[in-house]
Structure 1
């Protein structure tokens, strides 16, 4: 799918901003509104954590057709960039799902630190605010994905997970620990320094399950 490299370039460009910067949130373009039906939904996890799910469904989906689905992290900032980057020249559009937070800014720094990072191997105050990547993964698998499948005609055999910085770290965490959950992974500038590189498995081969 030619669209995915465009998304990766967009994520890399946005990841060059300082980690704690709060750049203006992009607005959805008129072209994006022309090609997609766009909605958002507030969702609560089983632990009463608050999320905002964005979904863009291509308007040209034919009856009984199922499209690939792209899941984008840091969605408050990244979802509009991903949707705006689509043009028909890139081929049929996927369903685009953004997983974000109930905020007006682009990034919820404490929440993304909590959700996107694996536990550090030893107690360290630099890593004490994170470590809940597995719980966030379970939320995506058991809450977000089932809901998306009721809202849009997605192909569960053509799923992509994309993120940058801490989001890229979570993409790698999912690839190394739950590689069968998605078929493609886009990790832009992943923060592999977190936990002194704890995300990289100490095993060979790195993948115990190939993306299906």
Structure 2
């Protein structure tokens, strides 16, 4: 697994601001642009962060890593890559799919975009106890990624369409599994970091069963790879006792570990499972981002 360098260089993204002279050097080495797209199906606005490598493209085009929660995860990835990237990581195009906000996460938007329609009894209490959580937008979001984000990136840079990676954490990890199960040829490499298998009464396991049935015999497309990572420490959210108990019940059941064990039977799938024993759901995120870079280039976590 790639670890953070002792001297962390911050990339300059639109909305994040220049932090130092070193940061300016990173910006000049790996050009970063951001642009907004309005989803055709929903009319919702998104912000796409696109990192251009400084070096010329390989003969087949650049490999590309698409990162959900891009406002937060693209800066993490650029810290990993650094100002003087180790070969071959400098050739990676990084695409963050995020939101037109100043902060790292749009919690309510990601609930909608990354989930199936979810009955109220399966929706956890909101963080502030008052916000209404909307769900059910994952197919609209997947269509947006496939028909608008990917074409927008591939008109700007020469991309190798056989070297696409999708990274997601938590609900994003759940979404990554959903894409693999239902439209697996859209990406070749998938990273599901602490996927929220529990969501919607573990409904993803039904989609997993259908995927397993389809995969019998022929397996998956050549070169398909999946990295599942989980955290080892539970950090309880401060909630009233009744809400805390309800959340605990909702989050029970299978985790990424059990899913990885089940998917190990899929013919042709390069599957790797890794647990961050000493990390929590939140603290593992930058480490999972670092692992995603190596995994996209064929390297397994340490």
TM range (shorter): 0.7 to 0.9
CA contact (8 A) 2:18 2:24 kept: no
Distance 2:181 2:18 in 1: 34
What SS does the aligned partner of 1:205 have? Answer: helix
Structure 1 ranges of 4+ moved more than 4 A: 25-28, 62-65, 206-209
Distance 1:207 1:140, change over 3 A: farther
Distance 1:162 1:177 in 2: 16
What SS does the aligned partner of 1:158 have? Answer: strand
CA contact (8 A) 2:122 2:199 kept: no
1:95 aligns with 2:93: yes
RMSD: 2.6
Could you report, residue by residue, the CA deviation over 1:80-99 in whole angstroms, capped at 9, with x for unpaired residues? Answer: 11122114224242111000
Could you report, residue by residue, the CA deviation over 1:45-84 in whole angstroms, capped at 9, with x for unpaired residues? Answer: 0121010000001011158661101000001111111122
Aligned partner of 1:52 among 28, 32, 47: 47
Shift of 1:205: 1.7
Aligned partner of 1:84 among 64, 79, 85: 79
Unaligned runs of 5+ residues in structure 2 are 5-15, 125-132, 223-302
Length-normalised TM-score, structure 1: 0.80
Match of 2:197 in 1: 192
What SS does the aligned partner of 1:203 have? Answer: helix
Aligned partner of 2:105 among 99, 104, 107: 107
Bigger Cα Rg:
2
CA contact (8 A) 1:86 1:93 kept: no
Distance 1:186 1:162 in 2: 5
Distance 1:168 1:98, change over 3 A: same
- Which residues of 2 match residues 1-212 of structure 1 at below 5 A? 5-6=1-2, 29-30=23-24, 32-46=26-40, 47-62=42-57, 66-87=61-82, 88-91=85-88, 92-120=90-118, 124=121, 126=123, 129-200=134-205, 201-203=208-210, 205=212, 208=215, 210-212=220-222
CA contact (8 A) 1:42 1:52 kept: yes
Distance 1:204 1:55 in 2: 32
Length-normalised TM-score, structure 2: 0.57
